[in-house]
Structure 1
Amino acid sequence: MRTTTRFASSLFVATLLAAGMPAMAQEAPRVAPDQLSQDWVLLNRDVSVDVPNSGVNLYKPSCIAVTYLIGNDGVPMNVQVAKMAPSSDLGKAAVSAVSHFRYGPSLSNKNHTPVATYYVVPFNSPDDPAKRAQLMAPCKLPGYGQAA
């Protein structure tokens, strides 16, 4: 009878611990795109992206902010559209582009520590740097600071 009671007690404690694990897990630091090179370095500069042939605002200058987590293997995870200006049908293309990024750890990230960040994908962007910055400004996301 005592063995059954100990087993039941152990099972109860294990269940409580397992349920609390997600709450105990640390959230990855949120790193601004301009600070990302302190943790991860983008290895590929060219990616293939499927862009739709027809849809809303496909040829209008726009930006799409895509958030993601760089896993310890350098592959983006949980890639999703966070902001779009103006609204268009290019969200899937932006997610596709970022999903194909590959990162290597920086010299200061020898443990391959995952970080959350975002990337602003420009579409039909002007060549003029000032006009490009103006186009991209609405897609900047708050809450992404330097990693600790």
Structure 2
Amino acid sequence: MIRISSRTGAIAAVLLLAAGSAQAQNLRRVAPERLTGYWYLTNKSVSPDVPNTGKNLNQPTCVAVSYMIGSDGRTQNAKIEKVVPAGDLGQVGVSIVNQLVYVKGNQNGTAVPVQTYYVTGFNLPEDPAAKTALLDKCKLPGYDQTT
């Protein structure tokens, strides 16, 4: 019988967390508009959890959530990156991302995981220019925009 002390278990947990973080840092960062070469979204709909009360729930808002698409096409490590204007709709974006499922695209023969992000809007204005201006505020830097 192998005994693992609590100290050894804690060290193992830290090493596993560090390995997961290192993997996330080494992933190809793909802009949402370029994602279909790597992964295709299969969902037709989602059912996000929406709060009944909170800050700026009725304001035109954009939310950016970063996440990893794993080799199985499932999303992982969803993280709220931006909410404009600040409010309580970020968790709704995470709820959406956690329900997304993908299949590999034609540039992704071995189903390599990638890091990307999702932007969604709430209470968006009818005017297309105003809608685009708001959603553009949630674009994230550092993602491959051209390949």
Q: What is the number of residues matched between the two proteins?
A: 130
Q: Tell me how far 1:35 sits from its aligned partner.
A: 0.5
User: Whose radius of gyration is greater, 1 or 2?
Assistant: 1
Q: Tell me how far 1:147 sits from its aligned partner.
A: 8.6
2:121 is paired with a residue whose SS is strand
In structure 2, stretches of 5+ residues that fail to align are 1-14
Q: Tell me how far 1:24 sits from its aligned partner.
A: 7.9
Q: What does 1:2-81 correspond to in 2, within 5 Å?
A: 22=19, 27-81=26-80
2:138 is equivalent to residue 139 of structure 1:
yes
Question: % of aligned pairs identical?
Answer: 45
Which amino acid letter does the alignment assign opposite residue 114 of structure 1? P
Q: Tell me how far 1:50 sits from its aligned partner.
A: 1.3
With 40-49 and 123-132 compared, the bigger mean Cα shift is at: 123-132
In structure 1, stretches of 5+ residues that fail to align are 1-17
Which amino acid letter does the alignment assign opposite residue 91 of structure 2? K
Q: Tell me how far 1:27 sits from its aligned partner.
A: 0.8
Match of 1:3 in 2: none
Q: Tell me how far 1:135 sits from its aligned partner.
A: 0.8
Query: What is the aligned-residue RMSD (CA, Å)?
Result: 2.3
2:134 and 2:70 map into 1 onto residues whose CA distance is 30
What TM-score, normalized to structure 1? Answer: 0.80
1:146 and 1:31 map into 2 onto residues whose CA distance is 7
